[in-house]
Chain A
Amino acid sequence: MNQTKDRSRPPIEAIVVGASAGGVEALLRVFGHLRRGFGVPILVVLHLPDERDSQLASVFGHRLAVPVEEARDKLDIVPGTLYVATPGYHLSVEADRSLSLSLEEPVHHSRPSIDVLFESAADVYGPALLAVVLTGANDDGARGLAKVRALGGITVVQDPEEAQVSTMPEAALALHEPDHILTLQGIGQLLAGLE
C-alpha cells in the first residue's frame, strides 16, 4: 500500500515534521535528500532544551539545498521553503496558509509542540498533508499524527529500531498505524520523490 503514489490522492501540498532528542542530526539526514527547487513547503518543530533563540535556521540553511527560514508570525507559506519553529512559541498554520505563533500553555511540556503544528496543519491541508514523527524522548506528535490520518493525510513514523531515542516514534505507533514506518534514508527518499 503506497498511498503517496496513489493517483486518486490529491498531491501533497505541505509536509510537517516533528522531532525531539536526537532531532538535529535526524532532520539533517532526512532533508539532505532534498534538491534545490523542491516544491513543497516543510514545517518543522524541534524541541530544544530551553526557550532561547536558536541558530537552527541558519545551521540548516548552510547545510541544506532548500531555502530555510525561521517561522515568523503572519508569514505566508511559500512552496519549497523549510520553516523552523521559533523556540518558546507554538507554531500553527492558518486557513489562509500563513503561519501564526502563540504563547498558549506548553503541550507535553513543550512549546513549540508537535501536536499543535500537526493538528492545525491537518485542519488546513486535510488529505494534502504529509506528517512525519522522528526520534524523541516524549509523546508529543502522537495525537497530532492521528489527527492528520483522520483527516486523510499521509503519516510516517521513523523506525523505532533506528531512532536515537525511540519513545516518540513508539508513542506515535501506539496511537495509530501510520502509512509508513521508515528509516531516515527511507523518509528522505519518500519526501524527495513527492514531485
Chain B
Amino acid sequence: MERDTDIELRLLIEAIYLKYSYDFRDYSGASIKRRVHHALSQFECKTISALQERVLHDPGMFMQLLQLLTIPVSEMFRDPSHFLAIREEIVPLLRTYPSIKIWIAGCSTGEEVYSMAILLREEGLLDRTFIYATDINPRSLEKAKQGIFSLENVRTYTQNYQNAGGRRSFADYYTAAYDYAMFDKTLCQNVTFADHSLATDSVFSETQLISCRNVLIYFNKKLQDRAFGLFHESLCHRGFLVLGSKETLDFSAYGHRFEPLVKQERIYRKL
C-alpha cells in the first residue's frame, strides 16, 4: 500500500503537469521526493497537499518551486579531462563542417555554454558555430544570458580551464567587478537561449554535436530513452553526443545506435 506522502507527491506532480505543462512524472523518484520535502520546509507547508494547493492557485509560487525542483549545480569546464577530449577528439572532426550547430540541452545557468564557447573560440570555430542552449527553467536561462558568475567560483573554473587544455589566461574572458565576473558578451553572439523540455518538446534543428551533462541522471529510464531519441533524431550522420561523467547509454534502448568515441569521457558518436 502506498504511503500518504507518496500519494500526495504523485498528485502534486500531476497537478503541476496539468496546470503548468511541466512534466516531472518520469523524473527519478528519490531525488524529486527530497526536493519536494526541502520545498515543504522552505515554504513552511505542513503537507505536500498544502504545497499543492498554493502551487495550483499561484503561478508565482510555482515559479519559486521550480527553482527548487531543478538543480542548478554546474561549473565551467566541469570534469576538465572531458573538455580536453572534446578539444582533441571532436574539434578536428567538427572543423570539416562549413558551419556547425551545437545543442546544449539542460544548460541551466550557462556554465557549459560559456565553456564550450571559449573552447571553440580558441580553436577558431566559434564564428561559424551556432549554439542552441536550452533549459526548462526560465530564470536559469535568464541568468545564463547575463553571463555573470560569482568571482569565488571563477577560481575553480580557472583551475578547470587550465586542466582542460586552455590556451590563454582565463581572465581574458571576463571582467571582474566587485564579487562578480562578467563574461565577454561576444562569446554568446551566436548562442540562442531557449525554453525546451526533453520531456515534452520535440527536435527543432539538425545538429553536429549535442552536450547534455548531468541532466539525464534525474530522469527514469523511460524519460532517458525519450531524450536519447530526440538526440538521435537531431544529430546528423556521425554526429557527436557528450554526456556527464557518470551517465551512460549502456542501459538505454538507444545504446546500439551510438558508438563510444572516448568511452571514459562519455563521448559517443551516432551510428
Contact = CB atoms under 8 A, between A and B. Distances in A.
A13 interface: no
A23 to B, nearest CB: 21
B31 A74 contact: no
Contacts of B31: 90, 92, 100, 102, 104
Most chain B CB neighbours (cut-off 10 Å) among A74, A95, A116: A74
B93 interface: no
A103 interface: yes
B217 A103 contact: yes
A56 to B, nearest CB: 15
B30 A73 contact: no
Nearest to B35: A104
B71 A104 contact: yes
Given A74-B221, A94-B220, A103-B73, A89 B30 contact: no
B214 to A, nearest CB: 6
Interface string B245-256: 011101100000
B30 A75 contact: no
A100 B28 contact: yes
A105 B248 CA distance: 22
Interface string B141-158: 000000000000000000
Given A102-B217, A103-B71, A92 B246 contact: no
Which range holds the interface residue count of chain B?
20 to 34
Contacts of A98: 221
A183 interface: no
A120 interface: yes
A90 B250 CA distance: 20
A94 B214 contact: no
A173 B31 CA distance: 27
Given A92-B28, A120-B30, A103 B224 contact: no
B1 to A, nearest CB: 11
B29 interface: yes
A98 B28 CA distance: 10
Nearest to B221: A74
A73 B221 contact: no
Given A75-B251, A116-B34, A101 B246 contact: yes
A104 B73 contact: yes
Contacts of B30: 92-94, 100, 102, 120, 123
19 contacts: A72-B246, A72-B250, A73-B217, A73-B247, A74-B248, A74-B251, A86-B246, A89-B217, A89-B246, A92-B31, A94-B30, A94-B220, A100-B28, A103-B214, A103-B217, A104-B31, A104-B35, A116-B34, A120-B34
Interface of A: 72-75, 86, 89-90, 92-95, 98, 100-105, 116, 119-120, 123
Interface of B: 28-31, 33-35, 71, 73, 214, 216-218, 220-221, 224, 246-248, 250-251
